[in-house]
Structure 1
Amino acid sequence: MNQTFKVSGMTCSHCVNAVQTAILKTDNTAGIQVDLPSGLVSINSKLPRSALVAAIEEAGYKVSSP
């Protein structure tokens, strides 16, 4: 299932990598697309939204609806 999140706090490629790594630790088969300028993260995963949000927030970023 494809889900889109608005992630606050991403300012550089290191931040993008940190978010991607956090998601992949939760679901190593997830497809992830990050648009740094808009802060939008699209994730194709079978996990529930709450699990993906928790992974991103544990990495130190704030998640809201797009």
Structure 2
Amino acid sequence: MASTRTISVSGMSCDHCEQTVEDALLSVPGVESVTVDRESGSATVAGDADVSSLVAAVDDAGYEASA
């Protein structure tokens, strides 16, 4: 069964930033859906992807993430 987890994301300042983070997270194997909120500085991810893979994907996209 897929789980849902929220990670912290810093460095987002616009809609484009949110979309970039969403696209990066959706590219991780095992991710089913993503909701990114720059106001709260978070991304909620549904799926069975490893959290370290999620953080790495956001970091590779140019933002900072932590679980």
Provide TM-score, normalisation by structure 2.
0.85
Instruction: Please tell me the residue identity of whatever aligns with 1:6.
Output: S
The answer to whether structure 1 residue 2 and structure 2 residue 8 are counterparts is: no
RMSD: 1.5
Note the residue ranges of structure 2 that are not aligned, 5 or more in a row: none
Specify the alignment match of 1:38 in structure 2: 40
Shift of 1:2: 0.6
1:13 to 12, 15, 31: 15
1:48, 1:28 → 2: CA distance? Answer: 8
The number of equivalent residue pairs is 65
- Flag the structure with higher strand content: 2
Runs of 4+ in 1 over 3 A off after TM superposition: none
Percent of matched pairs sharing the same residue = 37
The aligned counterpart of 2:60 is: 58
Indicate the structure whose relative CO is greater, using CA pairs within 8 Å and at least 6 residues apart: 1
